[in-house]
Amino acid sequence: MAAGSASGTGDGTSKVKFGIFEADLRAGELRRNGSKVKLQEQPFQVLTVLLERPGEVVSREDLRTKLWPSDTFVDFDHGLNAAVRRLRDALGDSAENPRFVETVARRGYRFVGPVNGAAPEVTQKAIRRRRWPIAVGIAAVLLVGVVIGFHAAKQIFSAPRAQERRLTANPAEAPVLNGVISPDGKYLAFSDNTGLYLRQIDTGETHAVPLPQGFGPIP
């Protein structure tokens, strides 16, 4: 179950139009050309949060807070990835060429489609946030140049160090049994006692790989 339901957008209306779709945030309904689209509660909650902040990056942590209460113990990565995948399926959207829901690597998701006939207002908000005084901007550029030069010199005269990064977050009842990273470093194939999965490392999106009945996967 979701942590809460949306009451509407900032302008006081609960209905948001984008493309051929209309979402009624209070009723929890999505329609395509007037016909109701079947969409589960959690994918709709993801859509609601994104529509409330069109054009802005909504972090995965923000979505976790909205969708799952703090005392709920779930595999958050799998749950959110599945919700976003179902939402994209309902919208006829794709992660590779998004028309509505864009994945922002290592940060979260952003609604990029026109809302109520207008482009997302985040562009104007972002411009206002970037209107720094000229003197501050020049100082920042100089500081960045110094930092870049320092780090470039440091990298030249120091050996590279390996970094660790956690790629899975399976619950104790479904531990990862086997796993392998693709040669290009973009994907992780792993299996647990529920099946075989393919995860895009940069975005964290995970898809189950259908297998013949009785087939034991070993990546």
Q: How many domains are contained in the chain?
A: 3
Residues 46 and 20 placed together within one structural domain of the fold? yes
Whether residues 45 and 131 share a domain: the answer is no
Residue 183 lies in a domain: yes
Residues with Cβ < 8 Å from 207, sequence gap 6 or more?
A: 81, 85, 197, 198, 199
Say whether both 117 and 202 belong to one domain.
Answer: no
- Domain-located, residue 10: no
Please list the pLDDT of the chain residue by residue as tens digits (219 residues).
333 444 455 555 688 999 999 999 999 999 999 999 999 999 999 999 999 999 999 998 888 888 877 666 667 788 889 999 999 999 999 999 999 999 998 899 999 989 887 766 544 444 444 444 555 667 777 777 777 877 776 776 665 666 777 777 777 667 877 888 899 888 988 887 778 888 888 887 888 888 887 777 776
Whether 132 and 185 map to the same domain: the answer is no
Tokens of 8: 């509407």
**Which residues constitute the domain of residue 208?**
168-214
Q: What are phi and psi of 21, to 5 degrees?
A: -110, 155
Do both 114 and 152 map to the same domain?
no
- 202, 106 contact by CB (below 8 A): yes
Instruction: Report the C-alpha gap between 160 and 167 in whole angstroms.
Output: 21
Instruction: Say whether both 117 and 196 belong to one domain.
Output: no
Q: Are residues 58 and 98 in the same domain?
A: yes
